[in-house]
Chain A
């Protein structure tokens, strides 16, 4: 199915993926009583502070991420993806690492868990990182910077 006017969009696959992401967060909340986002869990696994989940759980969650992607990749016969060059990935990674620690969360912790709970902090954080991301892409496009290869 496609969206009229947006030939590139994949609304059904997006919705199905979103439901799986919601179920993933539900397992964490109903099972372990936590809303742990990915940035907090990754920090915990790496021994850099982060969320209150036990380190064993942080590690198995982190291992599960590529595992789940691998299953989908195998079922679909590969996943299309274009990435930026190493210097761009380094700059972006540093900003994401610093920003998520200072801002107490990322797209999952704030964007999914916090927004669905109507947390004021999460709604403000989500609007802020969305606006910053949109402004960044607009600025890069205006400057003719094509980073994905």
Chain B
């Protein structure tokens, strides 16, 4: 295995387990969270809260580290500009998320829960990503 493969596998497995344990691989639960004006299910807020709490602690350790444990350097986003593209993209994502109750992580993790439905979602998601790439290549 090349160097990033094993830690990435550990990260992905922990992530998939966390999604399943927190109920996030069930679109009914995700849509229940988004149903703020109906039968609201706050579970997703606990999932998000737990994850943000752990990461908020982890971020405090980063400035004291010269390099990551298994790589030469940190590669962190530095952009701070709020663009129409960012907001428009996030809005489109949110609409898709609301329609089927799936975002990329749970969609891929659900391949072992309901393979047919998850595969259709993941294929369409990759097609959407390919469309953006195609359009960007043409306009560049």
How many whole Å from A81's CB to the nearest CB in chain B?
A: 4
Question: Given contacts A79-B25, A96-B128, A138-B35, are A111 and B12 in contact (CB under 8 A)?
Answer: no
Which of A6, A17, A65, A100 is the one whose CB lies under 8 Å from B93?
A: A100
- Chain B residue with minimal CB distance to A131? B94
A33–B75 touching, CB < 8 Å = yes
A21–B68 touching, CB < 8 Å = no
B62–A64 touching, CB < 8 Å = no
Interface residues of A in 101-127 (CB under 8 A from B): 101-104, 106-108, 110-117, 119-121, 124-126
Query: CB-defined interface of A3-36 with B at 8 Å, one 1/0 digit per residue?
Result: 1001011111111111111111111111111110
A138–B38 touching, CB < 8 Å = yes
A69–B70 touching, CB < 8 Å = no
Which of A53, A103, A104, A136 is the one whose CB lies under 8 Å from B98?
A: A136
With a CB–CB cut-off of 8 A, which chain A residues contact B109?
65-66, 68-69
Interface residues of B in 51-88 (CB under 8 A from A): 51-56, 58-59, 61-62, 65, 67-77, 79-82, 85-88
A83–B27 touching, CB < 8 Å = yes
- Chain A residue with minimal CB distance to B120? A89
B98–A133 touching, CB < 8 Å = yes
Query: CB-defined interface of A59-83 with B at 8 Å, one 1/0 digit per residue?
Result: 1111111111111110000011111
With a CB–CB cut-off of 8 A, which chain B residues contact A98?
89, 92, 128-129, 131-132
B124–A94 touching, CB < 8 Å = yes
The total of chain A residues at the interface (CB under 8 A) is: 116
Which of A30, A97, A126, A133 is the one whose CB lies under 8 Å from B124?
A: A97
Which of A71, A93, A114 is the one whose CB lies under 8 Å from B96?
A: A93
How many whole Å from B78's CB to the nearest CB in chain A?
A: 10
A29–B68 touching, CB < 8 Å = yes
Interface residues of B in 1-50 (CB under 8 A from A): 1-29, 31-32, 34-50
With a CB–CB cut-off of 8 A, which chain B residues contact A26?
54-55, 58
How many whole Å from B123's CB to the nearest CB in chain A?
A: 7
With a CB–CB cut-off of 8 A, which chain B residues contact A32?
4, 7-8, 68, 70-71
In the bound complex, what is the Cα–Cα distance between A136 and B1 (angstroms)?
43
In the bound complex, what is the Cα–Cα distance between A3 and B80 (angstroms)?
38
- Chain A residue with minimal CB distance to B94? A132
B12–A121 touching, CB < 8 Å = no
A121–B93 touching, CB < 8 Å = no
A11–B112 touching, CB < 8 Å = no
With a CB–CB cut-off of 8 A, which chain A residues contact B132?
97-98, 101-102
A30–B58 touching, CB < 8 Å = yes
Sorted nearest first, the 4 A-B pairs with minimum C-beta distance are: A97-B128, A17-B22, A18-B50, A64-B12
